[in-house]
Amino acid sequence: MKVSYKWLQEYLDIDVKPKDLAEKLARTSVDINDVYSPSDGLTKLVVGYVTSLKPHPDSDHLAICQVNIGEAEDVQIVCGAPNIAANHNVIVALPGARIGNNIKIKRSKMRGELSEGMICALQEIGFTEKVAPKAYDEGIWFLPEEAKPGESIFPYLGMDDVIIDTDITPNRGDMFSMRGNVNDIAAFYDLKPHFTEKKVVENSDEQTSDLISAAIPNPEIAPTYKLRVIKDVQIADSPLWLQIKLWNAGIRPINNVVDVTNYILIKYGQPLHSFDYNKLPSHDISVRHAHQGEEFVTLDKDTRELIAEDIVVTAGDKPVALAGTMGGLETAISDDTTAVTLESAIFDSILVRKQARRLDLHSESSTRFERGIDPATVETAVDEAAQMIAELAHGTVTTGIVTGSETKPKPVIVKVTLARINHVLGTSLVAQDVTDIFNRLAFVSEFNGDTFTVDVPTRRWDVNIEADLLEEIARIFGYDNIPSTLPAQTNNVGGLDAEQKLIRSSRHVLEGLGLNQAISYSLTTIEKAQQFQITNGGTPMVLDYPMSQDHVATRMNLISGLLIDVAYNVARSQENIALYEQGRTFVPVAADQRPTEEEHIAGVVTGKLLTDTWHDKTEAVDFYQIKGIVEQFLQNMALTGNVTFVANTARKEMHPGRTADIFLDDQIIGYVGEIHPNTAKEYKIPESYVFELNLEPIIANDKIARHYQEISKYPSITRDIAMLVNDYITNQEIVSLIQDKGGAFLTDVTLFDVYQGTHVPEGKKSLAYSLTYQDKNETLVEDKVNQAFDKVTAKLIEEFDITVR
Amino acid sequence: MGLQDKLNDLLQQGLKQVEESVNLESINDVRVKMLGKKGPITEVLRGMRDLSAEERPKVGQFANEVRDQLTNAIDEQRAKLENAKLNDQLKKEAIDVTLPGNSVAQGQPHVIQQIIDELVDLFIGMGYVVAEGSEVEEDRYNFEMLNLPKDHPARDMQDTFYVTPEILMRTQTSPMQARTLETHDFSKGPLKMVSPGKVYRRDTDDATHSHQFHQVEGLVIGKHITMADLKGTLEVVAQDLFGDELEVRLRPSYFPFTEPSVEADITCFNCHGKGCAICKYTGWIEVLGAGMTHPNVLKMAGVDPEEYGGFAFGLGPDRFAMLKYGVNDIRDFYQNDVRFLTQFDQKG
C-alpha cells in the first residue's frame, strides 16, 4: 500500500524522517517496497500564469503563450496542448528543468518561435497513465487559481509528500488502511493517534428503506451487507486535496462520488461500491452465487462469463456487480447520475479471491476483501462516505441504513502467562513491560499476577491465539532487543547417516576422476523421461497442469538431462564436456500413488577428458576411458558383491556394440557405453559416452571392511601368456577362469595386449596377460609357479580352446 | 739425486699435471701415470730396499705423503671437473618454466551443492541431523499439516505443480517438518534437523524465476527452545555464509506454519548498508525466513504444543549463490555450461 506521510501526519504527531519511519515499519510491522517522493528527480518546475496566447503562424496546433513565471517580464513558451488557454495557471518546466523520464528541457525554437521552457501535462512530470485524471488525458493540467506564479508546483500537487510503499504479508490485512497504519505506528512509537471519523447528517427525511431493500438469503457469502442512498447529487471533479490523496495512493481521481468511495477505502480499508440509483434495474438488492454461464458486463466493458462459484450483487435478480471485485457498466456512476446507492459490505474472502484470480481482476477492493475487513467500521465507513458525498456533491442523505445481513464480531479473548512469554521469546520481561505493550497496541488487558487476559479489538482480526499475542509482544518489544543465544547443547549427536555419507563421497569420487557436477531439471518431456532407463520402469509420472512442454514429466533417468546439458554446451562451441549428476529418478508405482524416488548417479563425457596442451596431445574419450571411470568409482564404493560387465546389444538409445550392463552379483545396477549415433543426432550432440548407476543397491550392498594387508617382503614372480582365442570369448571369461584356477599364490592378472589383424587368423584375437604370483610367508620357488602356470594354461586350452603363442 | 728429491720432483710434476687436466679422461690418465703399479712412485719405492734401515722409514713416510697428496689433488680435480660437466649438462637441460603444465582432470562440485554442503556441515556442527524428503509429496504434508488448509490464501503465493489433487511436486522443503515431527522420539531429546533439497514451483523460467530450485529447511523442537535461540542460530548462519562483520536484522513476516514469523536480512555485503543495485538501495538483503513453529503444526503432527515448541527456518541456496557470486540469471544453475560450472573451483 502506498502510504502518504502527510496523510499520516494528520492523525499522528510524528516527527521522524520518512526513511526512518519506513525502516521502523520494516522492523516492526510490514515490509517496505520503496520510499519515494513524487517529486524525486524533477527540478525547475514552477507555476506559470498564461497571460495571453496567439496561434503559431507556421502551425495549425501550436500556440505561442506569454507566461508569467513570477519574473518582471513574461516569458514566451510555445505549447501544443489542445486545451491551452489564457488566464490559467499551468505547470511550467523552465529551461534546465528535469521532467519525467529524466528528460531535460532546453530553451529552443519551435518552427522559428522562441520557447523558453515547456508547459507540462501531468504525465510529463511523472504521473502514470493509470493515475492521471482522464479528463486531462490529451492536455495540460491547470493549477488552482490561487497558485503564485514562479513558485514550485510541488506543494500544489502534493508532490512534496513522501510515499512509503509497504508490502503487506497475508496476515496483516489491517495494514491496507490509513487507520491500520496509524494504529500500528502509534503502538511502536508510543503515540496517541487522533484519528477522526466524520459523522453523517441525514439531511433528507426520506427513509432509505422506502427507496431500496436488501435481502441476503445466504449470509455466508456476504456476512455483512449495508446500503445508503444519497439523492440530488451533482457529479463533478473532486477538490484538489482529495485528488492529491488518491493519486499519491496510486488511484486515479474520477469524480466526486467515486473518489469518495476510494478515499474511504484507503482511510478505513473498507471497499465501498457506488451504484447509480436510477439505473438499477430494480431496487431489491441481493447477493447470490452466479449461474453457470451467466454473462455480465463489467465496468471495463468486458463481457464476463461467470461460473457457479462466482458471487454477484443483484438488483431484482439481475447481476449489477461482481461482489467485491468489480461493478457493472450499466449501473456505474456517470456525469448524469443524480442519486447514488452506496454499498458497504463484507464478502467471503475465499470466494472473492477465487473470482478475482479466475477473472484476473485483482483490484484495491478485492485485495481488501481477500485479506479481511474490520466488521466494526462497515457502518462508520458508509456513513462518512455518505456525508462526504453530501458535502462535495451537494447531495442529501436519506434517513437510515438498509441492512441485508450483519454478523456481529465475536469478542476475541486470548490468555497468556508472563512465564510463557519469557519461555518462548527467551526474554526476561516483567509484567509492566507487557502491559505497556498491550496499552500501546490499544489492546485491553488484565493481569492477575500470573496470566494476561487480552481483549483483542476487531481491527486486529489476525490475532486469535496465544502465539499471535507472542508475536505482537515480540515485534513491539523489538526483535533487535531479543537476546541471541543458541539452543542448549544436549546429548543429541548430529551428522550424516551412512547413506548420506556414501552419496556425498560418490560425488567426491567422480569429481576426483575429472567430472564436473551438473544439476539438471528433474521435470522433462515424457519421451526424455523414459529414455535410458536401467531397467524398464514403464511410463513416467506426468504433471496435471504443466507450465511448459519441456517440463511435463518426472525423469526416470539422469542421462537424458545430461545430454541436454551437453547439447547446450556444444551449441556454445564447447567441445570437451565431462559432467556427472547425482539425483533422484522417479519410478512410477501406480496412478494416484507417489513414485518411488531412487538415488542415481550418471556421467557423460564428450570430446576429451583432458585438454590438449602444447606439450601433451590427448586422446578423445572412448568406451574404455568411461569404463575406467566407472570401474574406479565402483572400486571406491568398496562393494563386497561381485561387479561384472556384460555386453548388451539391445539398449535402444545406446550403441549396440559398445554398451555393457553392469551387474552387482546378479542384480543389474546400471550400464556404460556409447550413445547410439541416432540418439546423438536427436540430441544434436557429437559422439558421447555415458554411464548411469542406481545408487540404491550400491548403498544396500555390504561394504568391504577396511583392513590393512601387510605388504609381503618376499619377491613376486610374473609369468606372461599370449594366446590366440576365438574372438567371441570375452576378456572377462578368461580373467575369471585364470583367477578361479590360478592357484593360491596368484595375486594379480593384468591384460597387457589385445591384437587383431596381420598374423592373426580371421575370427581369432590375440590376448596377452601378465600373471603375478607371490607367497606372503616365504620366497616362492619357481617350481610352484611353473606348476600353477601350467595348470591354468591347460585349463584355458580345455575351456576356451586357446592356442598359446 | 736422492730418493727424497726424486719424490719431491715427482710430486711437483704430478701436481702440475693435475692442474693442467681439463677433462675427466686426462685426470684419469694422470692417476694411472703417477699412481699406477708401473708408475714412477712405485718405482721409487722399489728402490727403497737399497736404503739404510734409518732412512727407509723416513723415505717410506715421505713417499706415502706424496702419494696421498697426489691422490687428494686428483680427487679434488676430478670432483671439480665432474661438477663442471654436470653443470654443463644441467644448463643444456634448462627449459622455459613459464610454459604451462599438462592438463589434469579434476571436476568441481556444483556451486549450489557447495552452498548446501557448507550449510549442512555448519548445522551438523551444531548437532543437527540431515533429513532429505521426497520431491514428490502429498498435499497433506506440503500444505495441510503446515497449517495451510485447502483454501488458504498463502497457497496462492506458491504456484504448485499438481499430479493429482493429493499429489504434487513439493513447493518447499517444509514437508519434512511435519514428517520428522511425526516420527521423532522426543524421549531421546530435542529434534534438530536440516533438510536440503530440490523444490518446484509453477513458474515460467526467466532470469529471476525457475520452476526448480533448492531450499534448506531447518527445525528445532524441544522443551526449552526460544526465539532468542532462533535469533542466535540465524545470526550464525548468515554470518557464516556472508561474513561475520555484517549485521543481521529480523523483521516481522508471515508464514502459515510459524508464529511469530520473521524474515532475516543482512547488511548488504556489497555496499555495507549504503544502498546499491544488489540490495535495491535498501542497504539490506533478505536471506531467509523463519519463525516459532505454529502450535497447529505441532498439534497436527501429534506433538503437544504446551510441552514442546521451537523454531523453523528456510533458506534458498540458489538465491545465496546469486547474491554471493553475482550470478544474475538463475537459469545458469541448471543449464550446466562448463564455463559456468568450472568457475567455482576454489577449495580454500
Write the pLDDT tens digit of every residue in A256-296. 999 999 999 999 999 999 999 999 999 999 999 999 999 99
Q: Distance between terminal CA atoms of chain B?
A: 81
Residue B313: closest CA among B202, B232, B204: B232
Mean pLDDT computed over B145-172: 87
pLDDT tops 90 at residue B66: no
Closest CA of chain B from A661, distance in Å: 25
Adjacent-strand bridge partners of B303: none
Q: Are residues A321 and A249 in the same domain?
A: yes
Dihedral of CA atoms A228, A233, A236, A238 in degrees, nearest 10, equals -40
Whether the per-residue pLDDT at A89 is higher than 80: the answer is yes
Nearest residue on chain B to A486, alpha-carbon basis: B229
A484 and B231 within 8 Å at the Cβ level: the answer is: yes
What is the nearest CA distance from B247 to chain A, expressed in angstroms?
11
Looking at the fold, whether A218 and A335 belong to one and the same domain comes out as yes
Residue A712 belongs to some domain of the structure: no
Residues A528 and A621 in one domain: yes
- CB contact under 8 Å between A26 and B130, yes or no, is no
Torsion over CA of A512, A516, A522 and A524, rounded to 10 degrees?
-130
Helix or strand or coil: residue B205?
coil
| pLDDT for position A94 | 94
A549 touches chain B (CB under 8 A): no
CATH code, A476: 3.30.56.10
pLDDT mean over A173-189: 96
Q: What is the pLDDT of residue B1?
A: 60
Calculate mean pLDDT across residues A74-101.
93
What's the mean pLDDT in A227-250?
Answer: 96
Element (H, E) at A506: helix A498-512
Whether the predicted pLDDT of A713 surpasses 60: yes
Q: What is the pLDDT of residue A381?
A: 97
Q: Retrieve residue A208's grid coordinates.
A: 432509505
Is A196 within a domain?
no
Q: Which has more pLDDT, A109 or B50?
A: A109
Residue B54 DSSP class: T
Residues 109-128 of A with CB under 8 A from B: none
State which of A373, A388, A405 marks the end of a domain: A405
Residue B171 pLDDT > 80, yes or no? Answer: yes
Question: CA A656, CA B280: separation in Å to the nearest integer?
Answer: 56
Exposed, middle or buried: residue A149 (CB in 10 Å: 0-12, 13-18, 19+)?
A: buried
Q: What does the DSSP 8-state code read for residue A490?
A: -
- Greater confidence, A576 or B33? A576
Same domain for A361 and A279: yes
- Average pLDDT score over residue span B92-112: 91
- Kindly state whether residues A647 and A781 are assigned to the same domain: no
pLDDT tens digit sequence for A430-462: 999 999 999 999 999 999 999 999 999 999 999
- Domain membership of residue A493 (yes or no) is no
Upstream peptide bond of B196 is cis (omega within 30 degrees of 0): no
Domain B111-341 belongs to what topology? BirA Bifunctional Protein; domain 2 (3.30.930)
The pLDDT confidence band at residue B347, using thresholds 50, 70 and 90, is: low
Specify the pLDDT at position A738: 95
pLDDT at residue A98 greater than cutoff 60: yes
Q: How confident is the model at residue B240 (pLDDT cuts 50, 70, 90)?
A: confident
pLDDT of residue B103: 85
What does the CA dihedral A185, A187, A193, A197 come to, rounded to 10 degrees?
Answer: 80
In tens, the pLDDT along A596-624 reads 999 999 999 999 988 888 888 888 899 99
Q: B interface mutation test: which of A423, A479, A499, A549 has the most B CBs within 10 A?
A: A479
pLDDT at residue B212 above 60? yes
CB A10 within 8 Å of CB A161? no
Set of chain B residues whose Cβ sits within 8 Å of the Cβ of A616: 102-103
> Of the given ranges (A286-300, A505-519, B245-259), which has the lowest mean pLDDT?
B245-259
B261/A494 Cβ within 8 A? no
Mean pLDDT of the A193-198 span: 93
pLDDT in tens, A1-52: 999 999 999 999 998 999 999 999 999 999 999 999 999 999 999 999 999 9
Residue with cell 482511510: A267
CA neighbor of B292 nearest in space, from A421, A478, A457, A438: A421
pLDDT band at B269 (very low <50, low <70, confident <90, very high): confident
Mean pLDDT of B228-253: 89
Interface test with B, best of A351, A475, A594 (most B CBs within 10 A): A594
| Residue A372: partners with Cβ closer than 8 Å, 6 or more residues away | A173, A174, A349, A461, A462
What is the share, in percent, of chain B residues with pLDDT greater than 70? 98
Mutation pick from B95, B103, B198 vs chain A, by most beta carbons of A within 10 Å, is B103
For A491-503, letters b (16+ CB in 10 Å) and e give eeebebeeebebb
Q: How many domains does chain A have?
A: 6
pLDDT of residue B313: 96
Q: Determine the average pLDDT of the residues in B16-27.
A: 87
- Strand ranges inside A272-411, DSSP E: 272-276, 284-289, 295-297, 303-305, 311-315, 318-322, 326-327, 340-346, 396-397, 402-405
On whether residue A619 sits in a domain, the answer given is yes
Q: Does A491 touch chain B (CB under 8 A)?
A: yes
pLDDT category of residue A675 using cuts at 50, 70 and 90: very high
CB A50 within 8 A of CB A65: yes
Residue A142 has a pLDDT of 93
Interface test with B, best of A348, A437, A463, A522 (most B CBs within 10 A): A522
- Per-residue pLDDT, averaged over A764-782, amounts to 92
Least confident of A29-33, A46-50, B116-120, B269-273: B269-273
* Chain B closest-CA separation from residue A309 CA (Å): 13
Is B203's CB within 8 Å of A479's CB? no
Instruction: State whether A532 and A642 are in the same domain.
Output: yes
Asked if A544 is an interface residue toward chain B (Cβ–Cβ < 8 A), one would say yes
* Residue where the block lists cell 497442469: A545
Residue A520 · residue A550 · CB < 8 Å: no
Asked if residue A616 is part of any domain, the answer here is yes
Strands, E assignment, chain B: 129-130, 136-138, 162-164, 167-169, 191-200, 212-222, 248-255, 258-267, 284-293, 309-315
Best B113, B203, B335, B344 member to test A by mutation, with max A CBs in 10 Å, is: B335
Chain B stretch 208-247, residues whose beta carbon is closer than 8 A to a beta carbon of chain A: 211-212, 220, 222, 224-229, 231-233, 235-236
Contacts of A166 in chain B (CB under 8 A): none
Residues A309-355: tens digit of each pLDDT: 999 999 999 999 999 999 999 999 999 999 999 999 999 999 999 99
Cell 545430461 -> residue: A562
Residues of A with Cβ-Cβ distance to B250 under 8 angstroms: 27, 479-480, 482
Dig out the grid coordinates for A690 from the structure: 555415458
Distance from CA of A357 to the nearest CA of B (A): 9
Ramachandran area for residue A104 (φ above 0: left; ψ -120 to 50: alpha; else beta):
beta
Percent of chain A whose predicted confidence (pLDDT) is above 90? 88
- 10 Å Cβ neighbour count for A748? 14
DSSP track, A325-344: TEEBSTT---TT---EEEEE
Chain A environment of B134 (Cβ under 8 Å): 594, 597
**A178 in any annotated domain:** yes
Judgement on whether residues A503 and A643 belong to the same structural domain of the protein: yes
Question: What length is written for chain B?
Answer: 348
**A685 vs B contacts (CB less than 8 Å):** none
A510 and A426 together in one domain: no
Is A314 in CB contact (< 8 Å) with chain B? no
* Cβ contact, residue pair B336, A551, below 8 Å: no
- How does residue B32 score in pLDDT terms, banded at 50, 70 and 90? confident
Cβ-contact B221, B191 below 8 angstroms: yes
Distance from CA of A755 to the nearest CA of B (A): 29
- A200 φ/ψ sector (left φ>0, alpha ψ -120 to 50, else beta): beta
| Boundaries of domain holding A301 | 208-405
Residues of chain B in contact with residue A574, where contact means CB-CB under 8 angstroms, are 337-339
Domain match, A151 and A167 both: no
Assess whether pLDDT exceeds 90 at residue B24.
Answer: no
If you average pLDDT over residues B259-284, what whole number do you get?
Answer: 87
Buried/exposed A346-377: b ≥16 CB within 10 Å, e otherwise: bbbbbbbbbbbeebebebbbbbbbbbbbbbeb
| pLDDT above 80: residue B239 | yes
B chain contacts of residue A480, beta-carbon cutoff 8 Å: 249-250
* Interface mutation target, options A166, A168, A171, A468, chain B, most CBs of B under 10 Å: A171
Name the least confident of A368-382, A533-547, B148-162: B148-162
3-state secondary structure of A722: strand
Decide if B293 touches A, using CB distance below 8 A. Answer: no
Q: Evaluate whether residue A536 is within a structural domain.
A: yes
Cβ–Cβ of A523/B211 closer than 8 Å? yes
Region A633-644: mean pLDDT is 95
The answer, for A517 touching chain B at a CB cutoff of 8 Å, is: yes
Average pLDDT, chain A: 94
Asked if A586 and B163 come within 8 Å (Cβ–Cβ), the reply is no
pLDDT of residue A195 exceeding 70, the answer is yes
Question: Is residue B311 a contact partner of residue B155, using CB atoms and an 8 Å limit?
Answer: no
pLDDT in tens, A390-415: 999 999 999 999 999 998 888 899 99
The predicted pLDDT at position A492 comes to 76
Q: Are residues A651 and A582 in the same domain?
A: yes
A277 secondary structure, DSSP code: G
Please check whether residues A13 and A101 belong to one and the same domain: no
Residue B304 is predicted with a pLDDT of: 96
Please report where in the chains the cell 528456510 appears, as a residue.
Answer: B314
Mean local confidence (pLDDT), A143-149 = 94
Task: Average the pLDDT over each of A115-119, A710-714, A726-730 and give the range with the smallest value.
Answer: A710-714
Contacts of B192 (CB under 8 A, 6+ apart): A487, A492, A494, B123, B126, B127, B128, B129, B219, B220
Model confidence at A686, pLDDT cuts 50, 70, 90, reads very high
Does residue B115 have a pLDDT over 90? yes
DSSP A397: E
Question: Residue B343: how many CB atoms within 10 A of its CB?
Answer: 13
Name the strand (E) or helix (H) holding A46. Answer: strand A43-55
Comparison of pLDDT for A475 and B156, the residue scoring more:
A475
Question: So where are chain B's domains?
Answer: 3-92, 111-341
> Chain A 577-606, CB below 8 Å of chain B: which residues?
577-580, 583-584, 586, 591-595, 597
Neighbours of B20 (CB within 10 A): 11
Q: Rounded to the nearest 10 degrees, how much is the dihedral formed by the CA atoms of B320, B324, B326, B329? A: -10
Closest residue to A171, CB basis, from B124, B204, B254 = B254
Mean predicted confidence (pLDDT) in A412-428 = 96
Contacting residues for A391 by C-beta, under 8 A, at least 6 apart: none
Query: Between chain A and chain B, how many beta carbons pairs sit less than 8 Å apart?
Result: 277
Q: Is residue A433 part of a domain?
A: yes
What is the pLDDT, as a whole number, of residue B348?
56
SS3 content of chain A, % helix, strand, coil (to 5): 30, 30, 40
Contact between A111 and A59 (Cβ < 8 Å): yes
Which residues on A lie below 8 Å from B102 (Cβ)? Answer: 610, 613, 615-616
Residue A539 in grid coordinates: 511410463
Confidence of residue B156 (pLDDT cuts 50, 70, 90): low
**Same structural domain, A563 and A667:** yes
User: How confident is the model over A709-724, as a mean pLDDT?
Assistant: 90
Residue B61 has pLDDT above 90, yes or no: no
Cell of residue B294, nine digits = 505454529
B9-68 residues touching A, CB cutoff 8 A: none
Is A499's pLDDT higher than 70?
yes
Q: How far apart are CA B190 and CA B128, in angstroms?
A: 10
Among the partner-chain residues B137, B154, B229, the one whose CB lies closest to the CB of A485 is B229
Helix locations, A684-781, DSSP H: 695-700, 731-741
